[in-house]
Amino acid sequence: MNKNNDVIGEEPSGALMADVAKLAGVAISTVSRALANPGRVNEKTRTKINAAARQLGYTPNAMARGLRVGKSNIIMIILPGSLYYGVSQIIPQVLQSINKSLIQGGYNLMIANLDRDEISERHILDLAFGGSVRGAIILSSKLPEVDGRSLAGSGLPIVSMLLDMSDAGLQSVVTNDREAVRDVTAELIRLGHRRFFYLAGPEGNYHDVERYAGVLEALAAAGLSEALVRRSGGELGYQRGFDIGVRAAEDFAQLTEKPTAVIATSDDMAISFVSCIQRSGLRIPEDLSVVSFDGSPVCEFSSPPLSTIEQPVEEMGRAAVDLLLDAIDQRQKAAEIRTVIRSRLILRESVAAPKR
């Protein structure tokens, strides 16, 4: 029987907490405090312990530690960064859906961060390794990782939402971004459009990569060249969608041969773009068709009403919670590691055949 209460529940495989303590030259209880509550240990000692843990490949078993103190009913959600309250409202809608589903399952939701700087990353990892949460849902972003500690090594059940991390073995809930944009581009081509203007998100962003690929796939299927698409906005990074739409309208005005259809990667971009374009004298959809992504309710009340691809955020939130609770309760289900919930196109007055 182990004589030190700090290591009760620790799995015997791999390096043990006692090994870390020996290498760092500290007591086992100090290692326990440093890993579970870093603020209670001075920085010099904490640095030695972290270095020893990395050298030995030691990962504390957060779930086992949770059994000693009573199982937590808290699920943390990890946001991609500072909240942006545009018209799209995707993150608030997701939070509402997840919170509702968790409450029904007997759990409470905790927002772990409002940014993704190093301090926030450390806080997220402290929560995960400290045994105070039962699981995590991460939204549209990579796993936190600082000083060799990664959320993947915490022992917590994790579900990724709005970002496909199934290749890394993580349960992922996403929508069919590529297919949805491919289908709407094909519909625009069917109407007679041949030149396109794409309002892009940040370069390399998962959603932008998938959605732009959908445009290119539709063009290829119709035997059209990629050169028929002009892009705007991606180089601006994570600016507000409204700002990207304004900049895109300026870029559009500089084009000699004007596209006849616009595909925006968010409603925010499309709404500000349309406003600027109409002030310049162009008419929608007579001179230019516009379709966007997200499905914001306000699109119905735009002038003209904006066609948009509606994301199934409520269904995705429920699916993410179901997968997470199944993992927590160790319910064995033959679930696909990648769950895709289809978006739907809402066609409104902003789309029409091009003028001949």
DSSP code per residue over 59-107:
---HHHHHHHH----EEEEE-SSS----SS-HHHHHHHHHHHHHHHTT-
What pLDDT score does 236 carry?
64
Stretches where the chain sits below pLDDT 50 are: 1-13, 62-70
Do residues 352 and 191 touch, judged by C-beta distance below 8 A? yes
**CATH of the domain spanning 72-174+314-341, picked from 3.40.1170.60, 3.40.640.10, 3.20.20.110, 3.40.50.2300:** 3.40.50.2300
- Count CB-CB contacts under 10 A for residue 175: 24
The candidate with the shortest Cα–Cα distance to 277, out of 265, 294, 264, is 264
Q: In what helix (H) or strand (E) does residue 235 lie, and over which residues does it extend?
A: none
Reading the block at residue 356, the tokens are 């001949």
CATH 3.40.50.2300 residue spans of the chain: 72-174+314-341, 177-310
The candidate with the shortest Cα–Cα distance to 46, out of 65, 29, 31, is 31
CATH superfamily to which 5-60 belongs = lambda repressor-like DNA-binding domains (1.10.260.40)
**CATH of the domain spanning 177-310, picked from 3.90.180.10, 3.40.1710.10, 2.40.160.20, 3.40.50.2300:** 3.40.50.2300
Do residues 225 and 232 touch, judged by C-beta distance below 8 A? no
What pLDDT score does 276 carry?
96
What pLDDT score does 335 carry?
66
Which parts of the chain are beta strand (E)? 74-78, 108-111, 135-139, 145-146, 149-150, 158-161, 171-175, 196-199, 229-232, 261-264, 289-294, 307-310, 338-341, 344-346
What pLDDT score does 9 carry?
38
Q: How far, CA to CA in Å, does 339 sit from each of 2, 164, 207, 216, 331?
A: 43, 9, 16, 24, 17
Residues in the chain: 356
What pLDDT score does 85 carry?
59
Place of tokens 């073995």: 169
What pLDDT score does 347 carry?
96
